[in-house]
Structure 1
Amino acid sequence: MKASGNTSLLIKQQTSGTILWLTGWSMPDAVFDRLRMLLPHYRHIAVDYSAAGSPEEMLSLTETAVKDMLGIEGSLCRERVAHGPLLLSGWSLGGLLALRLVAKGYADGLILFGATAHFTRPKEEFDRGLADAYLRQMIKGILRDRHAVETNFRKVMFTEQEWEAGLAERLPHTGSWTTQALLAGLQLLRTENGLSQLPSIDCPVLIFHGTEDKICPYGAGLELMNQLPHAKLITLTACGHAPFWGKEAHIADEWRRWWHDHW
């Protein structure tokens, strides 16, 4: 949209902005559908890396999507005016991808769900991550029986109380990612480390993290809050690795309040 277009629409877009959604490992983008419905004044765009053939392709897909949205060189400013601020929203693996993009200055704000800047950790840091051996075991398992690995992963995502509440059963079915994309995502989780870049990220960051997250432990959320200069952590007690799932209304309220304070 050009600056000479409808003024009321332009103001609305400037006030709201665009959200780029980056989903978690093995998860379809549809997991964000209800949350997006509760944020109707934003333009919503998702990056699909469910068929990526390598970690490099996964990284390239996300960065290319942001560059295409913003335009290049002279057109960047015009695109920002037309669509307002750009927010990145990343869950787990998507959070790692989002942190990399924000560190390069591509966004005005960042929202993280069950995220970390470094997934694999040594034994003394298991309060913030998992052992690399865990991911290596998943990689071997995918080559034998990918359905079993995905199913087990989903079991670990939720707490016992969340299972009893039926949250896990509402997830979209497994199988939306290619086998190569599953492997690429796990390799990226093994190697990506954005800890050193956290202090230089100067945009506002909103973090949602469950206290009972067994995949990205709660300590990882505390670490992000402590090392990011402008971060706010929303702690969700008795919640597992999908802190937005089934809590979309609460998440949307916190999101709107936070962004109103910063924009």
Structure 2
Amino acid sequence: MTNPIRIFANRASRGASARTPTTAKPRGAVILWLTGWSMPETVFAELQSHLPEFVHAPVRLSCAETPEQMRALAETAAAAWFTGTDGALPSLASSRRSGKLLIAGWSLGGLLALRLAARGFADGLVLFGATARFVRSKEQANLGWPDAVLRHMAASIAKDRLAVEARFRQRLLSDEEKKTGFCPELPPAGSWPTAALLAGIQLLRTEIHVPALPEIACPTLLVHGKEDEVCPYGAAEELYERLPQAEILPVEGGGHIPFLGREAVIAEAIRRWSHGTQAACDSPSV
């Protein structure tokens, strides 16, 4: 465990006066959004509304029927920004070559975001409730889930997929968030076809990026709930320790959707982080 952990919120407040004001507009920045298992892209809608200065390009992972297709959807979307093949994501066309590509991934989407960054597609990462490896041994329960849980979920989907989604959603929120009444803010279940649900589970079981973390050099903002039961906070600490340019924003009382109900605050954190990384890039080397 890092000693001490750098807290992004404190760093941002200390350095705000030396950087671009928060009202300034990033130069054509695009955010590619990768959602979590079983969740529609609209889970990010409120957060995106607080970041109007960015171009938002969500990826429909629910269209995938295999893990390979899910990876391909994410990579094709990222590649479109560089190559100009914007048929599926026309929002990227006006911003290419005028700014940077940030990739925001939540949970399963975080695994895909790390994969893209390892392949050189990202100028920056924003990772919500993310991990570099979802499946862990019993000895690493502070970092993830055992494979048996995912195998059971996959087997149960064929019998009653909505029940599986309902049980999973109960684990998304912390006790504090449930008491506060965050449940109605969750998008309705059933937006992913069964094939996509199974593909997502298989991807969670097999995707491993821990060895690649030291080579992912782009700036990364980690936003993680301290009470996350799906990707425990230890997974964020592992990312923080191994990624060369990571900042961490712990969300006290937060569960697996750390931005839910806190969109304005998290958006401001993303904005400050983005301005800070841009200012660092613009500063002349000594």
Structure 1 CA distance for aligned equivalents of residues 25 and 272 of structure 2: 17
Gaps in structure 2 of 5+ consecutive residues: 1-23, 85-92, 279-286
Gaps in structure 1 of 5+ consecutive residues: 1-11, 73-77
2:55 corresponding residue in structure 1: 43
Residue 68 (structure 1) aligned to one of 76, 80, 105: 80
Shift of 1:81: 5.5
Q: Give the 3-state SS of the residue equivalent to 1:215 in structure 2.
A: coil
Task: Give the TM-score normalised by structure 2.
Answer: 0.84
Contact 1:116–1:224 (CA under 8 A) maintained in structure 2? yes
1:34 corresponding residue in structure 2: 46
Runs of 4+ in 1 over 6 A off after TM superposition: none
Contact 1:14–1:83 (CA under 8 A) maintained in structure 2? no
Structure 1 CA distance for aligned equivalents of residues 159 and 174 of structure 2: 27
Q: Deviations over 1:30-51 (max 9, x none)?
A: 0101111110011110110112
1:121 corresponding residue in structure 2: 136
Structure 2 CA distance for aligned equivalents of residues 82 and 13 of structure 1: 16
Contact 1:93–1:189 (CA under 8 A) maintained in structure 2? yes
- How many residues are aligned here? 248
Structure 1 CA distance for aligned equivalents of residues 159 and 166 of structure 2: 14
2:155 corresponding residue in structure 1: 140
Aligned residue type for 2:59: V
Could you say if the C-alpha distance between residues 14 and 234 of structure 1 is closer, same or farther in structure 2, counting changes exceeding 3 Å? closer
Structure 2 CA distance for aligned equivalents of residues 32 and 48 of structure 1: 12
Kindly indicate whether residue 244 of structure 2 is the aligned counterpart of residue 229 of structure 1: yes
Q: Deviations over 1:43-82 (max 9, x none)?
A: 110110112110001001110111112117xxxxx98764
Aligned residue type for 1:67: A
How large is the RMSD of aligned CA atoms in angstroms? 1.7
Contact 1:201–1:229 (CA under 8 A) maintained in structure 2? yes
Structure 2 CA distance for aligned equivalents of residues 127 and 139 of structure 1: 23
Contact 2:144–2:231 (CA under 8 A) maintained in structure 1? yes
Contact 1:14–1:85 (CA under 8 A) maintained in structure 2? no
Structure 2 CA distance for aligned equivalents of residues 156 and 247 of structure 1: 18
Q: Equivalences for 1:105-184 in 2 at 5 Å?
A: 105-184=120-199
Aligned residue type for 1:99: L
1:23 corresponding residue in structure 2: 35
Contact 2:133–2:210 (CA under 8 A) maintained in structure 1? yes
Kindly indicate whether residue 202 of structure 2 is the aligned counterpart of residue 187 of structure 1: yes
Residue 231 (structure 2) aligned to one of 201, 211, 216: 216
**Could you tell me the percent identity over the aligned residues?**
50
Structure 2 CA distance for aligned equivalents of residues 23 and 112 of structure 1: 11
Could you say if the C-alpha distance between residues 30 and 81 of structure 1 is closer, same or farther in structure 2, counting changes exceeding 3 Å? closer
Aligned residue type for 2:183: A
Task: Give the TM-score normalised by structure 1.
Answer: 0.91
Residue 103 (structure 1) aligned to one of 118, 130, 135: 118
Structure 1 CA distance for aligned equivalents of residues 125 and 98 of structure 2: 16
Kindly indicate whether residue 254 of structure 2 is the aligned counterpart of residue 242 of structure 1: no
Could you say if the C-alpha distance between residues 32 and 81 of structure 1 is closer, same or farther in structure 2, counting changes exceeding 3 Å? closer
Q: Give the 3-state SS of the residue equivalent to 1:157 in structure 2.
A: coil
Could you say if the C-alpha distance between residues 81 and 144 of structure 1 is closer, same or farther in structure 2, counting changes exceeding 3 Å? closer
Q: Deviations over 1:186-219 (max 9, x none)?
A: 0000000000110000100000011110000000
Q: Give the 3-state SS of the residue equivalent to 2:126 in structure 1.
A: strand
Could you say if the C-alpha distance between residues 110 and 253 of structure 1 is closer, same or farther in structure 2, counting changes exceeding 3 Å? same
Aligned residue type for 1:22: L
Q: Give the 3-state SS of the residue equivalent to 2:47 in structure 1.
A: helix
